[in-house]
Structure 1
Amino acid sequence: MLGAVETRSVSPVFVGRAGELTVLKEALARATAGEPQALLLAGEAGVGKTRLLEEFCAGAVKEHAVVALGGCVEIGAEGLPFAPFSAALRSLLRQLPDELAAAAAGQEEQLARLLPELSAPGRGTPLRAQEGEEESMARLFELTVRLLERVAAERPVVLVLEDLHWADASTRHLLTYLFRTLRSGRLVVIASYRSDDIHRRHPLRPLLAELDRLRTLRRIELSRFTRGEVRRQLAGILAATPEEALVDRVFERSDGNAFFVEELACSGDDCDHVMPETLRDLLLVRVEALPEHAQRVVRVVAEGGSTVEYELLAAVAGLGEDALIEALRAAVGANILLAAPDGDGYRFRHSLVREAISDDLLPGERSRLNRRYAEALEADPTLIRADEHAPRLASYWYSAKDANKALPATLTAAVAARRRYAFAEQLRLLERAMELWDLAGDEVRSTLRPVDFTEAYPPCGCDPATKPLQYLDLMAEAAVAGRFCGERERALKITKRALRLLDEDSDPLRQAWFWNQKGWLMSSLGRGDGRAEITRAEELLRGHEPSAVHAEILTHHASWGALHSPGPEALLAAERAVEYARMVGAEDIEANAQLTLAGLLVESGDIEKGIARMLTVRDRIAGGHLTRDLARVHVNLPHALESVGRSAEAIAYAREGIAFCRRYGLSDGEGWVWANLAESLVSYGLWDEAVDAVAQVGCTTTGAKPRVGASERLSRLALYRGEWDAAAAHLAEARRLYGSHAPQPQYALPIARLSLGVAAGEGRIADLRAELAQILEQGLAPGTQRYAWPLLLVGATAEADARGLPAAEPGRAKAIDIIRRAAKTVATPVPVWQGYERWVRAELLRAEDRATPEDWAEVAELFEACERPFGLARVRYRHAESLLSAGGDEETRARAADLLLAARKVAEPLSAKPLLEDISLLAQRARLALEGHATVPVPDRAADDPLETFGLTSRERDVLALVAQGHTNRQIAESLFISPKTASVHVSNILAKLGVAGRGEAAALAHRLRLFAG
């Protein structure tokens, strides 16, 4: 309405910020070259963030970039879900309609949750999502990122998201996802926020801490102006050189805050007048100078939200059109209000002024204005955009303190938030509805129906379309929303409260449902393993008719058993879960139970049947017949194939799963698949690709468990490559992520295996024995052979390598016996684990000096049929060592040389340093001239004494012998009649010549290579 009114900035001269502006321009240049950029702009209120962005965006437009602005909206206690992204996408749609339409092609209905204009005319958003709720939210996030990348594929796009301190949780989650997964496109994303508003408990604080860890993110902090910059700003405002006394007064009062400088400079006709004493007076002084009708309109706008549409304002203000326009002209002319950049509405030039005016309203005045806003929207919903109607109406009625109106409006807004996958906003709205529940009258509550406001997660055996909504329905819906948005603490609190309310209730189905939720939440929060809660839920259902609740709880029971105690009981629970789900027609729950059952079948030895079940679920998902747990089959199938030694198939299915997860935006599921792919790549001998796969885990998920797997893979590779410090560091990270609650074999045993490997590499045989004995004392559960055999192999190999080490002799026979007895309890259902069983047996025989070439030949023959090239290389080395130790003719020596060459061919490209060292030293000792180039140099003449290879002096050999026996520097000094300092120097020289990091490694190497007679 006031497009012709001049709205120039109060400060026409851009002051300072040269360094910050340069950073932004450089980011645009890099983005234009194809490297997407992410920046955070922080500063206190009024310091000049918006002005800096305006200056940068104006320059970006001159460089032919497309600029899309979006701001977070403050409405009541909660913002509009995804408000800044919706506004920015709407701007892109207006500027690049064809490009945006092409980028969104095929995904319009999903993306319409952010930008309703993309939805086909006449087609509403369905009540239930097409996929599982959590997966759908992840897919929406992924689709949004890919949309922005496609739009910015050919031209630079600047996406500016302002006022992040007001961002709703869904916006924060989407922004985090964008910053973490942005991979391509000529895109610059800038998010600004008030740093002075971020108190200790502000919800933005955890996000900022997480974003600080991203190497791809740059943060810009705006400081206040210096006195010289204040002088320049005043000169621009006044169009004249200011007097130094005025500069001093303004600088002192404003403390360099750019907005306060403007307000002080323009607070009267004469800038030398007596300045306002308080900040509130400073912000209101120009408002109070407006005509009365303009002040009234400004007060109405202040209570309407960050931006108020003209038609809505006209309906609420109660002025004639001419009077309203005149009032708006006065407010805009005074630089208090501005025309909104998008749409026909008005906003305050600075939010501090709006906050001051809103705070100045009387309590009755505020509630009356909110009531008028609510009544205007109820009378004519078209006054604002349809996607904003529900949350704004709920906020207005709540602020109007009308519980009878606010309760149904809040519930409607919660449904709208759920449809947009804004689960954090849904949770807050449901909590507000619970607050309003007792304040609303019975006549209002009796008209509400569960079918209209909830997904009816706990079926209660009656028609949700006819029974009235209950308070416990809201609690159930809120608990699920809390799970989906990651607010598990709040969800657990709601669940516990619901169970207290249900103590006197006779509804066992609902009680069982809440107990099941509690079990899931307790486990995910690390408060326990959830078993007691599952048991309680099952007890409540005993004797009742089968239902979806039965099927869901049985599935949870089976999943718990598969993770914590795989075996016949878990298998039976999974079979019952499938049966119950089929009986009640719960297709999604059945698919979940089928996957659990399939995994247990594979672990029990019924491999083909289990894999076939997984492939059936996979085909049903691909055909669109299932709606939840879309990613799980793509996680479980490669995992199962790897467990039976079919690594090549596992790799192929994992890559297919990654493509599937990306297509549907299942980022968390993608992280799990990457972790499984990394494991199969390690097994298959593609170690560099495995490292790349591990890197993708952190880029796609924040879940702890897949990152445990990623750290485990890195630690294992470091052990294989002799990088002991790195192995220990990755092991520590895996332990930190895993925690100590609810031990699960699939994590506990691999972590223990790594711990034993690090101890062996550092020569800590006593620590290794103690830890292994403790693990084996607890027993190895059925179905855990994929974790148990590698664990036993580390222990057996360590005992064999320590043979002859004096410090290892006490307790060695007992340790060997413990391993041998444990091995008898572990299954060997497939060739790969048969090979491991024979390998463990051969290592135990080597530890007793009884291994023969035939023993190692048998192991090698089994591994030749398995997809484990590095394992085969290690076995071939041992076979060659056994042949040479047994003596023999030249044919035997040639056979040993062939075995070493084959092992070296595998180890060299993998950079498996310990194995390469073993191969080279064995060849030297046996006087074998291996063909080709060795990673570890081999002297031209093999030494009679292997210690000559390392260049040790006679005295250093004596010291090493004592180090190998576990002597300290003082004990070495006493034995050799030298000073402790001299002993220390000898030890340091020995460590350097051997290329090891510590005394333990030196001792282990000496005895592993038989450098001293046993």
Structure 2
Amino acid sequence: MLGRVDTRSVSPVFVGRTGELTALTAALARADAGEPQALLVSGEAGVGKTRLVEELVDTACSRGAVVAVGGCVEIGADGLPFAPFSTALRSLLRRLPDELIAAADGQEGELARILPELGQSGREALGEDATARLFELTVRLLERLAADRTVVLVLEDLHWSDASTRNLLAYLFRALRRGRLVVIATYRADDIHRRHPLRPLLAELDRLRSVRHLELSRFTRAEVATQLAGILAAEPGAALLDEIFTRSDGNAFFVEELACSYGTGCSPGLTESLRDVLLVRVEALPDHAQRVVRIVAEGGTTVEHPLLLAVSRLAEDDLIEALRLAVGANILLPVDDNSYRFRHSLVREAVSDDLLPGERSRLNRRYAEALEADPGGVCVDVRTTRLAGYWYNAHDAAKALPVVLSAAVEARRRYAYSEQLRLLERAMELWDDAPPEVLATLRPPDDAEVYPACASGTKTSALSYLDLMAEATVAARFGGDRERALALSKKAVRVLERDTDPLRAAWFWTQRSRLTQELTRGDGWDELATAQELVRGLPPSAVHADILVNIASWGALHRPGPEALAAATRAVEYAELVGAETIELHARLTRGWLTADAGGVEEGLAEMYAVRDRAVEIGEVGVIGRAGTNLPSTLEAMGRSAEAVAAAELAIAHCHQRGLANSEGWVRGNLAQSLTSLGRWTEADRILDEAAGLAHSRKTRGLIADRRAELALRRGDLTQARVQVDAARAFYGTHDPQPQHSISLSRMAMCVAAREGRLADARAEFEQAVGRGFPPGTQRYALPLLCAAVAMEAGALGLPGSAGGRARILAAVRAEAKRLPTVVPVWQAYGLLLDAELARAEGRTDPELWGRAALAFERAGRPYETAVAQCGWAAALLDAHGNRSAAAGPLARAHALAAGLGARPLAEETAQLAARARIGLDAAPGEGDPTADDTDPVRALGLTPREQDVLRLVAAGHTNRRIAEELYISPKTASVHVSNILGKLGVSGRTEAAATAHRLRLFGDPVA
């Protein structure tokens, strides 16, 4: 509207900031080379953050980079989500329309929640994963845009950011992995008080090594002199420099304002308050221009010309003249899209603070009325939120309440749950002041499955206060404010104690169950039981079905068995009756999983496949993610590892396509387990590395640590195995113990302790696991644990002090084994291995048991377990018959498998067993090697004769003093020999050395 207006208060000379600008340009260079960059720029208001970024932008543009700038706006506190990202992406859409459309291909419906210009938003997928999915897709969009060109994304004024923007920025900084992208975020450091909502994000980002933080300080006196020379086009006098430097204290913006006051004849000494300095030029304007400036100050960060024309009630020529004066005074700036904003937000804040309370309310009412009269003057994605803010600040509850509720629905549809919560809380605040006739017109939305208020109790035509509480509870939970969600659900239950509405009360108790688990306050069962009791005897409903599916899922994870299976079946029936397909799919998935575990393998797996395919067909994202996790896991449990790999790879494709990063991380963890079972350990390592970059939840990180512990244990890296077991336990926590996690971790912790010679600790770990019990369906975890416990006892035969607890451990193993079904081949193989290990632990030698176990594992496609059984078979043949020829084949196969896998302890055991039996490991299957070295097999370990004597006494439990007495050497010499032995055996202590000697039977048969 105004064309070019000459402004001179901003210095034409860029002052100082050499180090900071160098850091920014270096980051730009690294991005040009393909390494994405993330930077934070902070400093007090007016210190020059924007000017520094503008210098970088000029440099980036000169190098051919594409720059997009988005700023947070103060209305974000009222619920305007993703404001800076929307603005920046809109700029990229104007600059790179074809490229952005291509980058968003297939996900336009989801990305439209941030950039509405991409089209109609897709069908809503309610849940916390929906937000993470949107974030992942946004990151991928930016990575694709920056694949072939450098893109600089600037997000200004984070101190005003809404929660959704903060969460998206945190996700972007964590998940950015590729692309020529520079992300720069700025914020006012002086605004970040102790309870400012940005503070937790800053603490999180400070821990990321990939984020560079630049903090701007104030100018020195010399830098202020340079700045003044640029503004005044002449060197400042010493007196003026001293006064402005003292008054401004080196703040760049205050230097400009004071210089401007001096240049317009207003001595900077006339005002004591810097706030007054900011108003000097405003008060120098004519009255009608001052009035327009005050109107703009109350309209938001930017105000559109048509809206300003309506609110000012001036003739257009008069408005343009007033705006020209304000722009000429460098107070306002015209914006490209026919809008106006203050040149600096400090001036806008000063003008706004100077308004009288009644004046502020009146201006907000005018804005609201003007926006209602002409909605097209404001961008569609901010229209409702701005209207809600105007009416709220106008203190008109009757007008504000309906539009605040509409803004809450829009925030929910954009997955901006934190903003939705704030708006709902504002609606609850307005509720009592709204006239009854207004309340009577309010209606819940029609999308019952998406909008939980409609399903939370008896469906009525009018919206109730409890409906708002239900929505706020879910919004708080999905937005990550679980404490607030729990408080709301507890308050609602107290309110419902006075009302007779068991269905609604049951819904809130179900929410409390979820929140109790998520807040690590318990396992949530008591709350679920209360909900179940409340709906007992009531007609079928979506709430009833939801409670049942939650009970079934809880049971599948905590107490799998007939009761959980029955609950899943009832949930399916109830969901079918009320037409709640999403609940039905979740229930069927749980039922299939439990059916397979109960022995109906084909029936259960068929149902799980059908659920997965139906979820993909209808686009039910939550079920797609869960099916992608549970189906490969169940296939692996049934010993169908190759089929599990195929199912997991398809699930990864589905999750990746839909942006389900955390679910993809979990699926990759399951894929790594199946690859480990198949002997593809290097692939499993790679998959786990990729999973770690996708995992956002603690449980997914726990799963990855669990899988890494297994690989480390099989490879013999006991330190790494112990670290990963501890990490997995920390991630899983102790508040919600689940057999699928605890049993495997107990097994690995037990094995580490046993191999380190800590037999008492290993036994204690086993007994704790037995004490927790092995519910039906946990045989996939329990059978390997029992086998490992018996192998531990067999390996400790003859170890001094080991006999004391052996009978108790073996009795517990036998008792538990009787209760574990072995209905699929892989479980049958473990059952055979258990029988063989029990015979060995009891001093019996039965080669047939070992041979059957080896054959069973070979048929099941488990190479590591096959090698273990082959090794045991060879040892049994040697012990029973001394048949080197018969033992040679199993031993050679065991060694080849172990060496090929990288299972170092098992490879060493087979090599040492071969040395003891004088069998060549390169012998053909079934053949011995009569020419093999006949030297004492202990020499294969590199031990000298004296060290052999010392090791024999160490294995017998003797101390260094006793060894010295037996061998007629000094205790110091005995200690040196022991140290050398520990190094050659690769063990950490005497006990572990003794255990190794007994396990390998280096000095003859052990004695029980």
TM-score, normalised to structure 2, is: 0.94
Q: State the distance in 2 between where 1:646 and 1:194 align.
A: 57
For the structure 1 residues 570 and 238, does the alpha-carbon distance in structure 2 shift closer, same or farther, using more than 3 Å as the test?
same
Given the alignment of the two structures, is residue 915 of structure 1 paired with residue 906 of structure 2, yes or no? Answer: yes
Deviation at residue 954 of structure 1 after TM alignment: 6.0
Percent sequence identity over aligned pairs: 61
Deviation at residue 500 of structure 1 after TM alignment: 0.5
Among 281, 288, 292, the residue aligned to 1:286: 281
Corresponding residue of 1:1008: 999
Q: State the distance in 2 between where 1:1006 and 1:261 align.
A: 80
Deviation at residue 136 of structure 1 after TM alignment: 4.0
Instruction: Note if contact 1:136-1:421 (Cα within 8 Å) is conserved in structure 2.
Output: yes
Q: State the distance in 2 between where 1:978 and 1:91 align.
A: 84
For the structure 1 residues 403 and 973, does the alpha-carbon distance in structure 2 shift closer, same or farther, using more than 3 Å as the test?
farther
For the structure 1 residues 564 and 890, does the alpha-carbon distance in structure 2 shift closer, same or farther, using more than 3 Å as the test?
closer
Corresponding residue of 1:924: 915
Q: State the distance in 2 between where 1:1010 and 1:755 align.
A: 24
Deviation at residue 833 of structure 1 after TM alignment: 0.9
Instruction: Note if contact 2:506-2:531 (Cα within 8 Å) is conserved in structure 1.
Output: yes
Instruction: Note if contact 2:258-2:268 (Cα within 8 Å) is conserved in structure 1.
Output: no
Deviation at residue 274 of structure 1 after TM alignment: 2.4
Among 507, 516, 524, the residue aligned to 1:513: 507
Given the alignment of the two structures, is residue 560 of structure 1 paired with residue 550 of structure 2, yes or no? Answer: no
AA aligned opposite 1:316: V
Deviation at residue 834 of structure 1 after TM alignment: 0.8
1:253-309 deviation per Cα after TM superposition (whole angstroms, max 9, x unaligned): 444333233333333237985274333234333333333333322222222111111
Taking the TM superposition and a 5 Å limit, the aligned residue runs for 1:464-503 are: 464=460, 467-503=461-497
Given the alignment of the two structures, is residue 707 of structure 1 paired with residue 698 of structure 2, yes or no? Answer: no
Deviates most, 774-783 or 249-258: 249-258
Deviates most, 495-504 or 973-982: 973-982
Deviation at residue 488 of structure 1 after TM alignment: 1.8
Q: Secondary structure at the match of 2:376?
A: helix
Instruction: Note if contact 1:287-1:295 (Cα within 8 Å) is conserved in structure 2.
Output: yes
Task: Name stretches of at least 5 consecutive residues in structure 2 with no aligned partner.
Answer: 924-930
Deviation at residue 645 of structure 1 after TM alignment: 0.7
AA aligned opposite 2:694: T
Instruction: Note if contact 1:43-1:196 (Cα within 8 Å) is conserved in structure 2.
Output: yes
Q: State the distance in 2 between where 1:344 and 1:967 align.
A: 91
For the structure 1 residues 760 and 506, does the alpha-carbon distance in structure 2 shift closer, same or farther, using more than 3 Å as the test?
same
Deviates most, 831-840 or 444-453: 444-453
For the structure 1 residues 929 and 333, does the alpha-carbon distance in structure 2 shift closer, same or farther, using more than 3 Å as the test?
same
Corresponding residue of 2:385: 391
Given the alignment of the two structures, is residue 85 of structure 1 paired with residue 85 of structure 2, yes or no? Answer: yes
Q: State the distance in 2 between where 1:267 and 1:398 align.
A: 37
Instruction: Note if contact 1:450-1:456 (Cα within 8 Å) is conserved in structure 2.
Output: no
Deviation at residue 325 of structure 1 after TM alignment: 2.3
Corresponding residue of 2:928: none
Given the alignment of the two structures, is residue 884 of structure 1 paired with residue 875 of structure 2, yes or no? Answer: no
Deviation at residue 958 of structure 1 after TM alignment: 5.8
Q: State the distance in 2 between where 1:260 and 1:1011 align.
A: 84
1:342-399 deviation per Cα after TM superposition (whole angstroms, max 9, x unaligned): 4111112222222222223222222222222112112211221111111111111111
Deviation at residue 825 of structure 1 after TM alignment: 1.5
For the structure 1 residues 628 and 992, does the alpha-carbon distance in structure 2 shift closer, same or farther, using more than 3 Å as the test?
closer
Corresponding residue of 1:97: 97
Q: State the distance in 2 between where 1:6 and 1:589 align.
A: 64
Q: Secondary structure at the match of 2:13?
A: coil
1:587-609 deviation per Cα after TM superposition (whole angstroms, max 9, x unaligned): 11111100000000011010000
Q: Secondary structure at the match of 1:451?
A: coil
RMSD: 2.7
Given the alignment of the two structures, is residue 308 of structure 1 paired with residue 303 of structure 2, yes or no? Answer: yes
Taking the TM superposition and a 5 Å limit, the aligned residue runs for 1:688-727 are: 688-727=682-721
Among 268, 290, 297, the residue aligned to 2:292: 297
1:772-802 deviation per Cα after TM superposition (whole angstroms, max 9, x unaligned): 1232134311110011011112211111111
AA aligned opposite 1:539: E
Deviates most, 4-13 or 342-351: 4-13
Q: State the distance in 2 between where 1:76 and 1:190 align.
A: 19
Q: Secondary structure at the match of 1:189?
A: strand
Among 325, 329, 332, the residue aligned to 1:334: 329
For the structure 1 residues 247 and 1001, does the alpha-carbon distance in structure 2 shift closer, same or farther, using more than 3 Å as the test?
farther
Instruction: Note if contact 1:423-1:482 (Cα within 8 Å) is conserved in structure 2.
Output: yes
Q: State the distance in 2 between where 1:777 and 1:462 align.
A: 45
AA aligned opposite 2:771: E
Among 404, 412, 415, the residue aligned to 1:418: 412
Given the alignment of the two structures, is residue 459 of structure 1 paired with residue 459 of structure 2, yes or no? Answer: no
Deviation at residue 732 of structure 1 after TM alignment: 1.2
Corresponding residue of 2:230: 236
Taking the TM superposition and a 5 Å limit, the aligned residue runs for 1:144-223 are: 144-223=138-217
Deviation at residue 713 of structure 1 after TM alignment: 0.7
Q: Secondary structure at the match of 1:55?
A: helix
Instruction: Note if contact 2:895-2:921 (Cα within 8 Å) is conserved in structure 1.
Output: no
Deviation at residue 659 of structure 1 after TM alignment: 0.6
Deviation at residue 757 of structure 1 after TM alignment: 1.8
Deviation at residue 333 of structure 1 after TM alignment: 2.4
Given the alignment of the two structures, is residue 345 of structure 1 paired with residue 336 of structure 2, yes or no? Answer: no
Among 879, 888, 894, the residue aligned to 1:897: 888
1:421-464 deviation per Cα after TM superposition (whole angstroms, max 9, x unaligned): 21111111111111111122222212211237982545377664
Q: Secondary structure at the match of 1:191?
A: strand
Q: Secondary structure at the match of 2:78?
A: coil
AA aligned opposite 1:646: R
Q: State the distance in 1 between where 2:669 and 2:396 align.
A: 52
For the structure 1 residues 945 and 220, does the alpha-carbon distance in structure 2 shift closer, same or farther, using more than 3 Å as the test?
farther
Instruction: Note if contact 1:578-1:594 (Cα within 8 Å) is conserved in structure 2.
Output: yes
For the structure 1 residues 627 and 661, does the alpha-carbon distance in structure 2 shift closer, same or farther, using more than 3 Å as the test?
closer
For the structure 1 residues 17 and 956, does the alpha-carbon distance in structure 2 shift closer, same or farther, using more than 3 Å as the test?
farther
Corresponding residue of 1:263: 257
Q: State the distance in 1 between where 2:352 and 2:976 align.
A: 76
Deviates most, 442-451 or 493-502: 442-451
1:813-848 deviation per Cα after TM superposition (whole angstroms, max 9, x unaligned): 222222222222211111111111111221222222
Q: State the distance in 2 between where 1:631 and 1:4 align.
A: 55
Given the alignment of the two structures, is residue 320 of structure 1 paired with residue 311 of structure 2, yes or no? Answer: no
Instruction: Note if contact 1:132-1:627 (Cα within 8 Å) is conserved in structure 2.
Output: no
Corresponding residue of 2:927: none
1:722-765 deviation per Cα after TM superposition (whole angstroms, max 9, x unaligned): 21111111111111111111211111111211211221122111
Taking the TM superposition and a 5 Å limit, the aligned residue runs for 1:666-745 are: 666-745=660-739
Given the alignment of the two structures, is residue 827 of structure 1 paired with residue 821 of structure 2, yes or no? Answer: yes
* Matched pairs, number: 996
For the structure 1 residues 18 and 968, does the alpha-carbon distance in structure 2 shift closer, same or farther, using more than 3 Å as the test?
farther
1:78-108 deviation per Cα after TM superposition (whole angstroms, max 9, x unaligned): 3521111111111112112222233333433
Among 608, 612, 615, the residue aligned to 1:614: 608
AA aligned opposite 2:11: S
Deviates most, 370-379 or 287-296: 287-296
Q: State the distance in 1 between where 2:378 and 2:172 align.
A: 29
For the structure 1 residues 358 and 853, does the alpha-carbon distance in structure 2 shift closer, same or farther, using more than 3 Å as the test?
same
Corresponding residue of 1:109: 109
Q: Secondary structure at the match of 2:905?
A: helix
Instruction: Note if contact 2:668-2:691 (Cα within 8 Å) is conserved in structure 1.
Output: yes
AA aligned opposite 1:39: L
Q: State the distance in 1 between where 2:981 and 2:237 align.
A: 77
Taking the TM superposition and a 5 Å limit, the aligned residue runs for 1:422-441 are: 422-441=416-435
Deviates most, 749-758 or 690-699: 690-699
Q: State the distance in 2 between where 1:56 and 1:92 align.
A: 18
1:124-168 deviation per Cα after TM superposition (whole angstroms, max 9, x unaligned): 657xx3544545434433332232233233322211111122221
Deviates most, 623-632 or 604-613: 623-632
For the structure 1 residues 457 and 612, does the alpha-carbon distance in structure 2 shift closer, same or farther, using more than 3 Å as the test?
farther
For the structure 1 residues 889 and 626, does the alpha-carbon distance in structure 2 shift closer, same or farther, using more than 3 Å as the test?
closer
Deviates most, 824-833 or 957-966: 957-966
